[in-house]
Structure 1
Amino acid sequence: MSKKINFPLSVPINAHGDKLLSLDLRRPTAHEVRALGLPYTMGRDGMPRPDVTMCSSYLVKCASIPLSSVDQLDLPDLNRLCWEVVGFFVSSTAETSTEPSMTSLDTGE
């Protein structure tokens, strides 16, 4: 799996005083994973379920944007970015879909 992904945004966001049209998302380090934990839970069907709160923490670290910029993400972009984050943790053989529906996100609430 690639160590860095350029993710084009469907709706631009602002970060660090700049308008961003895309995000460079890097693979998290083992140190970050130990500090943050896994960004997903496993469903009864054995498939990962992104935890949007944890994924947001990874976006802050791995895309180098503040949480206030994560909050500006259009919902389809947030959904796809959460799956990109989870993709760093699961093998491609475990993935059955690259864009599951937003209803499968675990908000941790």
Structure 2
Amino acid sequence: MKVVLRLRAHITNPARRYTNSYLPPAQQLYDWLIAPISEELEAANINTILFSMDEGLRTLPIAALHDGKQFLIEKYSLSLIPTISLMDTRYRKLENTQV
């Protein structure tokens, strides 16, 4: 969480607008989240990554993650869906349901 907050602080701070100060946390997060599965993503010809972020990570700017050469958004299409904790997962019968 410290690294997520640091990345967000770097990219939202107007004083750092024209700097690369965001790169160390962006690369660290890439190394933790994407690098361990990058070979599998490439082997499976994955071109879209779907993220379901839980509390704390919802504000992580996924597109800004950086592998040292390029941003994650330059390699993959990215999508976010609500975390499972935000969904009502109780079963409801569909009989006689109006659409």
More strand by share: 1
Which structure has the larger Rg over C-alpha atoms? 2
TM range (shorter): under 0.3
Structure (1 or 2) with the greater helix fraction: 2
What is the TM-score with the length of structure 2 in the denominator?
0.28
The TM-score, its normalising length taken from structure 1, stands at 0.26
